[in-house]
Structure 1
């Protein structure tokens, strides 16, 4: 489903206090510029609590592997990895793939990503990639499976419960978000 809603139905709305760089749920934020990428306190939110991780890219190079490594560390901290079953392993791999696709799209079409934000509760992982681009992401139509390139948003659309774009009036850029269900 392609949408421009800032939040999916039933979502809790914007994060209280804005994007201050602080984490919720007792998990430390990490930054790509001198803060020790992937550093965390190891603390995990209580069951049913919402957990958030942020990665600011700055002028870093190699942002796609950086984003995947950061996300993998979050998945370990949140108990998605190591996976106990094939379904759980597939769900974690889907999250990593969606992160790769959204960050790659920001690199190719939007002057690069500014920040990756990952939010997890017991049912959903939400991935958000903020960039300075003005374009509107959408799956290419018609999708041509046999041709190289142009599959990123098609993949996101197929793997995710929902996705969309948030724009803040008066601010350049956008945030592309996608939500994936937790493994059964």
Structure 2
């Protein structure tokens, strides 16, 4: 995968993978495949049991939603970062946009579109936005619990 950076520290320390998305095509599937490979390498996949399978699928869904949101509302994603420690998997999507992602309220399940950040909010332990004071863009992050 071009633009991918893998940093595998000793066991017990935070693991980090980065994928440059700025000039890539097919960004959402690329981001999912990159994240899926990290989940395989980190032992989340192949999943043993329904809980582990659901945890991995939740991660892939959140990656899709964050990257899609950056494509639709933030001039496209620049970089995807996936990190893992003993208890939390963190996803970060850096983009060039100035907007503030928010779950659409009121949320209407039958209405097409506008479900991305609602899904992120429901599946994640926490999520938020980081902005660098001297740069354009932002990083939207989300954290999910690592399976037991």
Please tell me whether residue 57 in structure 1 is matched to residue 31 in structure 2: no
Q: Tell me the residue number matched to 1:72.
A: 36
Higher percent of residues as strand: 2
Does the 8 A contact of 1:47 with 1:122 survive in 2?
Answer: no
Deviation at residue 31 of structure 1 after TM alignment: 4.1
- CA distance in 2 between counterparts of 1:94 and 1:78 reads 16
Please tell me whether residue 141 in structure 1 is matched to residue 105 in structure 2: yes
- CA distance in 1 between counterparts of 2:106 and 2:2 reads 38
Please tell me whether residue 150 in structure 1 is matched to residue 109 in structure 2: no
1:24-75, Cα deviation, whole Å (9 max, x unpaired)? xxxxxx644xxxx5x85xx854332110000001211110000000000000
Q: TM-score, normalised by structure 2?
A: 0.95
Q: Tell me the residue number matched to 1:172.
A: 136
- CA distance in 2 between counterparts of 1:172 and 1:45 reads 31
Q: Give unmatched runs, 5+ long, in structure 1.
A: 1-29
Alpha-carbon RMSD across the aligned residues, in angstroms, is: 1.5
Structure 2 residue matching 1:127: 3-state secondary structure = strand
Does the 8 A contact of 1:95 with 1:180 survive in 2?
Answer: yes
Q: Tell me the residue number matched to 2:50.
A: 86
Q: Select the residue among 59, 66, 89 that pairs with 1:125.
A: 89
Regions of 4+ moved over 6 Å: none
Does the 8 A contact of 1:44 with 1:78 survive in 2?
Answer: no
- CA distance in 1 between counterparts of 2:64 and 2:88 reads 18
Q: TM-score, normalised by structure 1?
A: 0.77
Higher percent of residues as helix: 2
Please tell me whether residue 116 in structure 1 is matched to residue 80 in structure 2: yes
Q: How many positions carry a matched residue from both structures?
A: 148
Q: Give unmatched runs, 5+ long, in structure 2.
A: none
Q: How does 1:11-22 map to 2 (within 5 A)?
A: none
- CA distance in 1 between counterparts of 2:144 and 2:53 reads 14
